[in-house]
Amino acid sequence: MIIKMSVTLTKGFATWKEMVHNNADRGKKHGFRMIFAGTEAADDSKLHVIMEFQSPESLEAFKNDKELAQKRID
């Protein structure tokens, strides 16, 4: 299952990328992989991500991971 997400970054792409790399084990645990992540040329706070999840359940597990959600906020 492949999904596309778009978010507005408040702390920049480098901070977001570091968070993703620091939580790579959680990605494996939740059964997803990052296919693409990039910002718009005209606005580097606009992030577009394409992710692949093993199943709808793995997507739900990712969405319901409160600790990971907090790390994305921080």
- To which residue do tokens 């570091």 refer? 18
pTM: 0.79
25-68, pLDDT tens digit by residue? 888 888 889 999 999 999 999 999 999 999 999 988 888 888 77
Q: Are 52 and 2 in contact (CB under 8 A)?
A: yes
Q: Which helix (H) or strand (E) holds 69?
A: helix 66-73
The class that CATH gives domain 2-73 is alpha beta
Q: Is 10 exposed, middle or buried (0-12, 13-18, 19+ CB in 10 A)?
A: exposed
The residues spanned by each domain of the chain are 2-73
Alpha-carbon distance 33 to 11, whole Å? 23
